[in-house]
Structures are given as C-alpha cells and as structure tokens.
Structure 1
C-alpha cells in the first residue's frame, strides 16, 4: 500500500498528558490504514500503552514501544490522566532509539528540543493540539520542526506573518474531529435538564477560576435547573488544588458531573454533549462550536477585550462582567443564540478549517515528507 518512494519508519511520541492523544492518534490510524509504512508509538506510561494497544489491534504495521523511563501506574483501562515521568530525561534517553526513524511526529513543543539542540537525521513533524487566538506561536522550538500541521489556513497565516517558512506549514483541518474513541455519546445524567459545561483555563492570567470559579460553580449548582459538567483543564488542579476539594463537596449531587482526570475531559465527549458552554479563554470553545450552540464567557479579570484579537472568541456569546450575573446569562444564552449563530459558524470555520478528513490529510503530508527524504 505504500506509495512508491515512501520508505522509512515513522515514530509517534505519546509522552505527555492524555489530552494530546486525540490530537495525535487519528493520524496514526489514517497512516496505518492507507500505507504499509512501519509505525512505532513511543509511550511514557501504562495508561498510554493500554489505550493504544486496544485501539491499534487491527493495524499490523503499528508497534507500541515503551520509552526509556516508562512508568507503570494505577490504570483501570479508562484512560485517566496519569502522573507522568519527567519528559526531558525521557527525551534524552530516547534520542538513540529515534535514529532509526525517518519521521518523528509529536503534538507538543517539548519534544522539539531534540531537533533544536541535537543534529538529527529524523525529520520532526509537529501537529497542533488546541487552536485559538492565544496559542503560543513565537516559541523558537517551533522552527526546529521540518513540518507543522495546523487546522486552518487562518492559523497557518499567523505563522507566516511571523516569518516562518511557508513550505513548512500545512493546513490539514481539525485532526481531533476524526477521533472515534469517545467515552460518552450522551450526557452523563439521568434526566434531561440542559447541560452546562464549565471549563476554566489552567493558566491564571487567562482563567476565571482564581477570581470567580468556585462561586460560579456554586451558583449554578444551587440554582438547580441545569445539569453541570465541571471539567477544567487537566493541569488546573496542579496549580489550584482547591479544585479537587470543591469536586468532593458537590460531586455526589445528581445534577453535577465532575471530572478531574478522566479521558472524557479530553476526547471530545463533554464538548459534544453539552448544551451551553461556560468558560473563559480555553480553546475547547472552538471544539464546542463545531456544532453551533450557546456560549457564555466570564471576564473575571476585567479584560478590555473588545477589539483585542486575543479575545476574538468572546464575540460568540454574552460576556459576563459580574459574577452575580452568571446564572442569568446562562438563562439568556439559548434565547439570544440566534444573534450569535452566524458569528460562531464563521469563527469555528476559520479556526478549525475542515472538520472531516483532517487526519487523512495529515497522514498524506507525512507520506509526502517521507517520499522526499532520501532512504538511508
């Protein structure tokens, strides 16, 4: 099945948080389904190994390998985000093993330290995880990638405006949209109350959590007319351990579903089943808007956001300036949604690009790079 000239081995790095998996794994499936190129998946924990072993069973060209420093952790098979071994030591110890690869694919920037600091024959391909106006695009490690796959042409142009080489950036569409291993296909509640998804960002300067978060949650819970999915970014609890305390306080309520480390937080389950998005600057809102629905944004930091391109997503719904207005804004969201549908469709389309076939296009770009790379 391999196209003429496409010789060599492709390595994928699954060394980071589980949130990276749905952005990277669809490319593995697409590459394995359309070629006979040998594929190695390097994993850092037994959680990664369990998930990928289950999913790759139909693909004989895929081999799962334990990275040096591999960690065996408590694992119930559901994909809960594990405590990770330190990534830099893993990367340094992995370096000799990657010499046999022609292409190395990653979904995070830390792995790009290898081609930035060491002479390597392998060409690195960086695929995006998350999109949005606040993505960190100026990191010098990005220039070490031979090819960067981004969702949309708009995203690609932001890099070209920074002087990156055009031939090194390709818009493929939103790869995560092709991820097929979701945890939940329906809301995790016994009744049909509208579902509000609250997903505060993990970085304090971008987040509503530190100023408003607990009060936002308590107001919605006390109101009682909504089912609440409280599923913040996986890394928030590292910086705000009180998140776990609040989850223990409310987690047994029938109309509350809390998730602090489950795979459903990152596999598209919650953005798929929610009726209203409630958040701040998380790129999850863009994923939510693959299907236009009501949004409410929390300006907990008092940002002067109108006209600021970093907050362009806030044009997709009402922006709350006072925490006391949160429940009323959620009430209004469905009634006001017609005012925002056109804006949402345009914003999501520009940010995500195509929402079907992104993984296949990404696999095609990897094969083209493989064909252009001289055999060893």
Structure 2
C-alpha cells in the first residue's frame, strides 16, 4: 500500500524588480544612492540603476565606496536626438522630459521605479502602467516648489519627517496612505561622523569660526547678487582674527551659466575667503559639518547644517513679508537681516544670541527629520518600500 507523503509548500514570491532612476544632476545621487544600496541588500529585491547624466557616475561610485557597498547593476536609457540636443544646450528640464517619454517601455517591466524628481510623473502620462512610482524627497525645507502637485501621480512618497507629511496632506497633494516619513538617507553617508544623532566635524585643522554662506539660486527669494557683494565687502573690511568665510551656493545656481557665473564667484577667493562652486564637499554635507555659523536664505541645505543646533543668520535683502509665512519657517531659527550694512554685525553677534533660538532649532530638527536617529533612513526607506509593494501584491 502506497503511503501518501505529499506535503503542500507555498512557493516563495519572486523578488521585487526595482528600477532606481537617477534622472537629475549629481547632487540628487547623495539622496538616492544610499537608498538604492539598502534596497539591493535585501533578499526580496533586485535593483537596477538607470543614470541620465554621465556626470553622476563618479558620484555614485564614490558613495558606494563610502558606504562600503558593491556597485549595482546598471542599464542604459534610450537617448533620442532631441534629448541629446537639449542636454548640449543645457536645457536640462526639457532634456529630462524627453528622456522620460523615451523610456516608458524600458521601465515598464519593473515592479517599482524610485526617483527624486516630481517630473517623473510624466511617465504615467506617457503610458507607464505596471510599475509603482515611488518618490524620494531630496530636500527638507519649506520653500514651495512649482511642480510639487505632480506628487499626486506617485503611488508612494518617502519624505524626511512629519513637517513634510503634514504639509502635503494639508495641501491635498497626497493622501494619508500615500506618504511616509523615514528621515534623510543622505545622512547615512556621514557614517562614523554621525554619533549620538549628531554629525561631528571631520577631524582636521579648523578655524575658530567657519562661516558658511549658502544662497539659494532663486534670486527673488535670496537676492544673492546683492547679498554676495554686501557680505564679501563687509567680511573683507571687518574680518576678525580666526574667521574664515566659505561661499558655497546651491549647485543648481550654475546649471545654465556656461561657466560664467562660476568664474564670477571664484574671483572672490582670497586667503580667508573660500569659494566652492560644486565640489564633492558641497554635495556630501562636508561644508555643513565644518561650519560654525550658517548664513543663507531658503536653501533646504540649511537643515543639513542644523543636524546639530548652531547659530544662523538669514538674509532678506528683498524685504520679503516672511513673518507668519509657513514657507519661511526656517527664518524663525536665527536673526533675519534686511540691511546690507548690518550683515557682519549679525554674524558676529550670532554665537552670543544662539541661546534665543536653540530650543526652537531642536524642536524643528525633530519635526523635519522625525524622532528616530539620523542614521538608518536608507534602511527605513527600503523596508517601507517593500512593505508597500507586499501590500499591493496581496491586495
């Protein structure tokens, strides 16, 4: 008599096929690559990277080396002639649109597409159907962005903290189940310098007072041409012993200037004035880590400086009506200067006045990046993505 030893086994689900889409300039890599590595480390994921700009490749390699993670499989994007011409003429926003529209069939077989750009929503309009579109924030500031309404076309949005979640829900851009806060994956690059939830300055010879000027590229908000001239002139005339000034604008400022604007900034360099127009230090938080005082306007890079509460000065030379405006909440965390002649006085007074803002900075840090340690956002993001995909598969 034959015995029945048949047993039933459930077949394991196939790993998720995830496309990581680097559609923007190199500074986005520092947000996206750590998350890509965390996804690739999971047994339930296979990751393929798609890179739009060749300039991103050395940055991705540098990030992998810093994380001590292997390189990931990479596949090419289709590049129609129109996209090549737009890139050659530095019309990068239009170039991205052309690349996205040309690669719907390339990306369609994947289960999910992870990217840092709102315009990736154009993939849906161009016919993308199967993959889930997942957005990863690449900034944590309050400035309103013109194309943020496109987020409603994404299936999942990963943002840095409760502040951004509440904003998108309040504005009706996302629904509650569509958005999760995970922290900032870029912080994972800080590695050994990030201890006790604080980013420590890399060991090197430091000036007693490093001043970082980090203007945004939007002239209407930053008035940087006036502010730059006023700050540089005042610093050169009244510099105190031990003070060093680093001028490091948002790198997007130089996208369409054909190098002319970079040369304009670089001419300001001298013994105690340093200019960074796009080095790795401007992208991987080194500049923020080494600064003692932040001077700026609306750049979200301010929050990378604020990992540890420190003195800040905000320049409002355009005299914008910022009080009680939710898009300028960062300006409540330091003195706001409207008179060009008062800039250096405010900078020199900032350390002594920091006690007036420290508690509020700590509160804003929690609101911006969540209650968890700054390290670990990449793993939280990878786990959130896979939990979301599992729920959609079961549903």
TM range (shorter): 0.7 to 0.9
Shift of 1:136: 2.5
Aligned partners of 1:211 and 1:301 also within 8 Å: no
Distance in 2, Cα, partners of 1:56 & 1:70: 30
**Structure 2: which 5+ runs fail to align?**
1-10, 82-89, 194-198
Distance in 1, Cα, partners of 2:54 & 2:180: 33
Q: Map of 1:251-290 to 2, 5 A cutoff? A: 251=269, 253-290=270-307
**Residues 303 and 96 (structure 1 numbering): CA distance in 2 closer, same or farther, change over 3 Å?**
same
Distance in 1, Cα, partners of 2:216 & 2:203: 22
**How far does the alpha carbon of each residue in 1:331-364 deviate from its partner, in whole angstroms, 9 at most, with x for none?**
0001111111101111121122242321111101
Distance in 2, Cα, partners of 1:262 & 1:70: 30
Determine if the alignment matches structure 1 residue 361 to structure 2 residue 380.
Answer: yes
SS of corresponding position for 1:68: coil
Q: Which has the larger radius of gyration?
A: 2
Shift of 1:319: 0.8
Aligned partners of 1:148 and 1:169 also within 8 Å: yes
Aligned partners of 1:196 and 1:276 also within 8 Å: yes
43-52 vs 121-130, which moves further: 43-52
Aligned residue for 2:136? 127
**Residues 331 and 107 (structure 1 numbering): CA distance in 2 closer, same or farther, change over 3 Å?**
same
**Residues 153 and 186 (structure 1 numbering): CA distance in 2 closer, same or farther, change over 3 Å?**
closer
Aligned residue for 1:35? 43
**Residues 131 and 60 (structure 1 numbering): CA distance in 2 closer, same or farther, change over 3 Å?**
closer
Count matched residues.
361
Shift of 1:65: 2.4
**Residues 211 and 50 (structure 1 numbering): CA distance in 2 closer, same or farther, change over 3 Å?**
closer
Aligned residue for 2:86? none
- RMSD over equivalenced CA pairs, Å: 3.0
**Residues 220 and 67 (structure 1 numbering): CA distance in 2 closer, same or farther, change over 3 Å?**
farther
Q: Map of 1:8-87 to 2, 5 A cutoff? A: 8-35=16-43, 37-53=45-61, 55-56=63-64, 62-69=72-79, 86-87=95-96
SS of corresponding position for 1:64: coil
Determine if the alignment matches structure 1 residue 177 to structure 2 residue 187.
Answer: yes
Distance in 1, Cα, partners of 2:277 & 2:69: 32
Relative to the length of structure 1, the TM-score reads 0.87
**Structure 1: which 5+ runs fail to align?**
72-82
Determine if the alignment matches structure 1 residue 96 to structure 2 residue 111.
Answer: no
Q: Map of 1:79-228 to 2, 5 A cutoff? A: 86-136=95-145, 139-163=148-172, 164-180=174-190, 192-225=207-240, 226-228=243-245
**How far does the alpha carbon of each residue in 1:67-88 deviate from its partner, in whole angstroms, 9 at most, with x for none?**
22399xxxxxxxxxxx686212
Determine if the alignment matches structure 1 residue 234 to structure 2 residue 243.
Answer: no
SS of corresponding position for 2:323: coil
